[in-house]
Amino acid sequence: MSLNALHEAAAVAERLLPVYEDLHQHPELSFHETRTAGIVAARLAELGFDVHEEIGRTGVVGVLTSGDGPVVMLRADMDALPVFEQTGLPYASTARGTDAEGVDVPVMHACGHDMHVTALLGAAELLSAAHGEWTGTLVLVFQPAEENGGGAQVMVDDGLYDIIPAPDIVLGQHVMPFPAGFIGAASGPAFAATDELEVRLFGRGGHGSQPESTIDPVVMAAATVMRLQTIVSREVAGRETAVLTIGTMQAGTKNNVIADEARLGLNIRSYDPAVRDRVIAAAHRIVNAEAAASGVDRAPEITGRDSFPVLVNEPAATARTLGVLREQLEGVVVGDVQPIMGSEDIGNLAAPVDAPIVYWLLGGTDPTLFEGSELLTSLPAGVPSNHSPFFAPVPEPTLRVGIAALTTAAREWLGAAENSEGER
């Protein structure tokens, strides 16, 4: 097989740049990706894929078969975040949406899923054009709702594998604030498990001038937040890994009114199931203990929300994939990276069929911002991370490299068609 993927990807990336900018300007929240799904479905149909829509509510799957051979799945996520964009780009989002709680929120592609979708559409174009050069079945999954942890499993539960064959390999990528032109992956455990807890603390409201007649849930919440911070520092060993973040804290309506309740949103990251269980149990213990210390009449409510498993890159498959990317993507730096505490639900597509995963990181930041910095140790000043209102990948060369990487990896795992001389 001979394929100058970077060269061919350049022309495709140029044609798809308006698509990327359009998707960035029109982001959609989890399970609301109807416009994005429509664009994807129409494009796949034009390229000759069998298209299946509304799998897992808004998911889209394209299938292209070229004889017998391996089944290779490529996946991109489509949803955006409730973030107010501040990039200043000419195609910046001003969109708004309604979140799961019914609240009107700003919406932004603050995690690069618009880049994931566009890159996979580019790979679809190159792979469909070369379908006579490979054998097997190519499955492209455009997944909803990665940000809330449910999209992949919802697609599976909605009968994904009744519609498509089980993949022999699941491939994907995530754009990150690394220099554009860099690709990296961790072999083995690569992305952390995550668990989210919603906590309701019940106090007794009243007038701000008479706190003695109330049970103040704001004070209770503040004490709980501070105590929760001791779990990782005092209950997780130095050789273990965990992160606990309180991402939301809500209470009250007016300065002189003591509220009836407060709400906390916890996010827990871990790699070891035993550590996970210990951290979650400690969070429950502390929430209940702080409530008891406040003398509450009603015990707190603690509800589990989004959850992702640890993402494990199969070592042999990862080595093979990085090897072909290193060999064929001239000028692209391909390397090993350390596991990260971010989470991904692509594993829920692979687990039901026991398929190996290779999921790599795609640099998307202006390389000049990294001059004088040691790559991948920490972000230089001025480089925004995923989920920041300032996060936006530079389209070139990010899109070109992303298209080439997906195409090259897929070709490595698909079978090779015989040429006219009967050679392979």
How many residues are there in the chain?
424
| One-character DSSP codes across 17-71 | HHHHHHHHHS---TT--HHHHHHHHHHHHHTT-EEEEEETTTEEEEEEEESSS-E
Beta strands in 85-231 (DSSP E): 96-98, 104-106, 134-143, 169-179, 182-185, 188-191, 193-202, 206-207
Beta-ladder partners of 419:
none
Q: Please give the Cα distance from 150 to 305 (Å, whole number).
A: 10
Residues annotated within a binding site for Mn(2+): 111, 113, 147, 174, 387
List the catalytic residue out of 79, 196, 306, 345: 79
List the catalytic residue out of 146, 168, 261, 412: 146
Interior angle at CA 8, CA 316 and CA 119, nearest 5: 65
Q: Please give the Cα distance from 384 to 380 (Å, whole number).
A: 9
Reply yes or no on whether 79 is catalytic.
yes
Residues annotated within a binding site: 111, 113, 147, 174, 387
Find tokens 């105590």 and name the residue: 227
Find tokens 């090897």 and name the residue: 323
- 129: which residues sit within 8 A by CB, 6+ positions away? none
At residue 158, φ and ψ (nearest 5 deg) are: -85, 10
At residue 136, φ and ψ (nearest 5 deg) are: 125, -160
Max CA separation in the chain (angstroms): 91
Please give the positions annotated as active site: 79, 146
